[in-house]
Amino acid sequence: MSLTLHSKLAAGRFVITVEATPPVSADRGDLMTKVVPLKGLADAVNVTDGAGARPHLGAVMAAAMLVQEGIEPILQLTCRDRNRIALQSELLAAAAAGVRNLLVLRGDDPSAGDQPQAKPVFDLDPRQLLETARRLRDAGELPTGRRIGGNAPFFLGSADSPIDPPPGWEPSSLAAKLAAGAQFVQTQFCMDAGLVRRYMARLVEKGIADKLFFLIGVVPLRSARSARWIKEKLFGAVIPDALVERMDHARDPVAEGRRICLDVIAELAEIPHVAGVHIMAPGNDDVVPGLVADARKSVKRLAVA
């Protein structure tokens, strides 16, 4: 029996998760084309939920399809599109489908997507949704107190953006998510291992670092242009100027971006309390399977998927 993401993290193994956006398709095969190359490589695959405020194959159904394929999913569930009744129903559906890992997110505002006239819901915030999922798991009941059939053994995650903590900084947002039930964290892109080291050191001081599993977001850059776009347009993303300059001077930007990503993963693996990395490769999916395979060769405590 293969180990779960939770059990690998609990055993102290350095894990690799990969983000996959379901296709804009009603064909199961189109989803499998994206995710099957990751089988046996990634420790888990994130299934996005309307990323960028754009529609695609439903996240709960996509995650269920991954379970059927023998790929462990991390279901991303956003607060943007559903009220609390619908969110509770989605949680029950996910549990019934065998989905165990849940990443709770606010969700991008519809104004950022391709249908800006869409109405956002935001009936719950991520903390409240975490509390709801924890109550289903631990008490076997809905927030109303109504008992549920079966069980929902969720491994609960939340998002964060590493920062270079200024004097007096308090991790109040993380502390609130931890109190709400978060067990692991996946972060925004942070390609600066030195910043991560300082961030984690501050979390150690504040008594947070050993209470959550931290997976740092990394990206195999495609070009200097894409590096600048991530740096300037994605809130919380960290791409050092030196890496942008390396991409500017690269003869083969895709290969250089891959090398940079491997270097950063190796550095992150040496930082105390960093439990793994989360690879996001927008528009560059083809490079990911080989990247994961090479990372496993270079990092000693990497788990075998």
One pLDDT digit (tens) per residue for the chain, 305 residues: 579 999 999 999 999 999 999 999 999 999 999 999 999 999 999 999 999 999 999 999 999 999 999 999 999 999 999 999 999 999 999 999 999 999 999 999 999 899 999 999 999 999 999 999 999 999 999 999 999 999 999 999 999 999 999 999 999 999 999 999 999 999 999 999 999 999 999 999 999 999 999 999 999 999 999 999 999 999 999 999 999 999 999 999 999 999 999 999 999 999 999 999 999 998 899 999 999 999 998 886 666 56
- Rounded to whole angstroms, how far apart are CA atoms 3 and 213? 16
Q: Would you say residue 298 lies in a domain?
A: no
What values do phi and psi take at 102, rounded to 5?
-130, 125
246 falls within a domain: yes
212: CATH: 3.20.20.220
Asked if residues 121 and 83 have their Cβ atoms less than 8 Å apart, the reply is: yes
Which residues form the domain of 103?
A: 5-281
Q: What is the pLDDT of residue 70?
A: 97
Instruction: Say if CB 101 and CB 73 are below 8 A apart.
Output: yes
**According to the model, what pLDDT value does residue 303 have?**
62
Is residue 290 included in any domain, yes or no? Answer: no
Is 299 among the domain residues?
no
Q: 247 with 227: CB under 8 angstroms?
A: yes
Is residue 270 in a domain?
yes
The CB density around residue 293, as the number of other CB atoms within 10 Å, is 12
Tally of domains in the chain: 1
User: Token match 């990503």: residue?
Assistant: 261
Q: Which two tokens stand for residue 254?
A: 């895709």
For residue 10, the model assigns a pLDDT of 97
CA angle 240, 265, 23 (to 5 degrees): 90
Residue 296 in any domain: the answer is no
Tell me, yes or no, whether 165 lies in a domain.
yes
- pLDDT at residue number 1: 53
What pLDDT is recorded for position 305?
61
Exposure string of 172-197, with b = 16+ CB inside 10 Å and e = fewer, is eebbebbebbbbbbbbbbbbbbebbb
d(CA 184, CA 167): 25
Residue 30 inside a domain? The answer is yes
SS3 assignment, position 74: strand
**Measured distance CA(177)–CA(149) in Å, rounded:** 27
